[in-house]
Amino acid sequence: MKKGQLCAAVTLTATLLGSYTALPVQAKEQQAEIEPVKIAIFSDPHYYAPELGITGEAFEKYLAGDRKLLAESKAILEAALDDIMESDADVVLISGDLTKDGEKISHEQFAEQLKKVEKSGKKVYVIEGNHDIYNPHAVSFEGSKTKPVDHISPKEFKSIYKDFGYGEAIAKDPNSLSYVVEPSEGIRLIVMDSALYSTNLKDDYPKTGGAFSSSRFKWIENQIKEARSEGKLVLGMTHHGIIEHFSLQDEFFPDYVVKNWQTVSKRLADLGMKAVFTGHFHAHDIVKKETNNDRFLFDIETGSLVTYPSPYRFIEITDDYEMKISTKTVKEIDYDTDGKSFPEYSRQFLEDGLDKLVPAMLAELLIEQGVPQQEALKQAQQLAKKEIGNDLTIGDLLAGGMIAHYRGDEQTDKSLEMVIEQLIDSKDDMTRTLGEALDSLYHDTRPKDGKLTTDLETGKIK
């Protein structure tokens, strides 16, 4: 992180901490009667308009540093939406990164896809992600060159997605893209803008991280308080994680949880939000936070449609406050998958991508430790190829850990546990750090990620 960014983050954290100190906690909450509802949710579709170019040297170079099935994004989206439209879901939620890099044409085409969903009788609500607004990386690919294309502003986002949240909102934050809807009687959904896009164009890069400024969070607080005063069940949706999804996420991937997430998640729980639907990390994972005020919050993260295994969820909320979560994955798409099934094709694509991305991740860790960039890249390549027994390299282990986390409900065997312990016991600082990272990735905490039933009054997992 650059010095200026670090100072800004420290200032923001201090402001947030100051704004949270005087929040009252209700001793006993009234509960309204709720109308049962079934929700479908997917995240990070990264829709990419095919007209922007899906062949050529420049596009292939881009894909070499990315793990997303961009050329296939339209076909994947259509397959998921076809299944959702045929389902008995009443509501569809999409938790950000709607487009590859905020291209206006991609947003417009994505919105056209959503119109079909609403015509099938379902309500659709969206929020933007870090890729969607003021993105200077909005380009087309032509042979060996890229060409800038139109991106969109927050105002244009509200206009394009007017029918998918903003037009029917019962409250809208004047200072962000946050809004509130009531998808079913007795249930309030607070859609929270966590993206940091205001300086993207000036800085010439989109910010990956997320945060709630004091004004954004004050608005969210007030919406939760109002909903709870009426006895409503309060749910949330935002792009960035509200809680760590593995124990070292904030250390290794700080941009994938909101700034000051510990305090943010505690205050949301203490105020009465029961669950928040998130995305961003492309992993399929559920975590639960419990506070010392006997409150709880579930962070229900849904993996990306364009990253193996292309999951989406169905969530049923009953009139007795029970929440039942199930998972489906895209199995077949209308696209040439080289004779493989789509799951085989998408997994191979991810494995090939991680072979290139893992050394880059290792280089970033080395750079943070003060190793010069060129030397860090060299050391990272060597470290990724380092053999650790059973014909495995550190690169293989890290890629496997990431795939396991993307899929959810991670599992290990005895031999893998021994290898990880061996790394943790190493006298080399970097090797030990990587062992700790793998231990964190592979050891999934309760609850289960793919299928879950819980009581939203007590937080008890059934």
> Among the CATH numbers 3.30.390.10, 3.40.50.261, 3.40.50.300, 3.60.21.10, which is that of 36-335+447-455?
3.60.21.10
Domain limits of the chain?
36-335+447-455, 342-442
Residue entry with tokens 């029918």: 163
Identify the bridge partners of residue 171 per DSSP, sorted by sequence position. Answer: 180
User: How many residues does the structure list for the chain?
Assistant: 462
Q: With the CA atoms of 219, 153, 96 and 194 taken in that order, what torsion angle do they form, in degrees rounded to the nearest 10? A: -30
Per-position pLDDT tens, the chain of length 462: 333 333 333 333 333 434 443 344 443 467 889 999 999 999 999 999 999 999 999 999 999 888 899 999 999 999 999 999 999 999 999 999 999 999 999 999 999 999 999 999 999 999 999 999 999 999 999 999 999 999 999 999 999 999 999 999 999 999 999 999 999 999 999 999 999 999 999 999 999 999 999 999 999 999 999 999 999 999 999 999 999 999 889 988 899 999 999 999 999 999 999 999 999 999 999 999 999 999 999 999 999 999 999 999 999 999 999 999 999 999 999 999 999 999 999 999 999 999 888 898 888 888 877 889 899 889 899 989 988 877 789 899 999 999 999 999 998 888 888 889 988 998 888 888 888 888 988 887 779 999 999 999 999 999
Give 66-124 as a DSSP string: -----TTHHHHHHHHHHHHHHS--SEEEEES--BSS--HHHHHHHHHHHHHHHHTT-EE
pTM of the model: 0.91
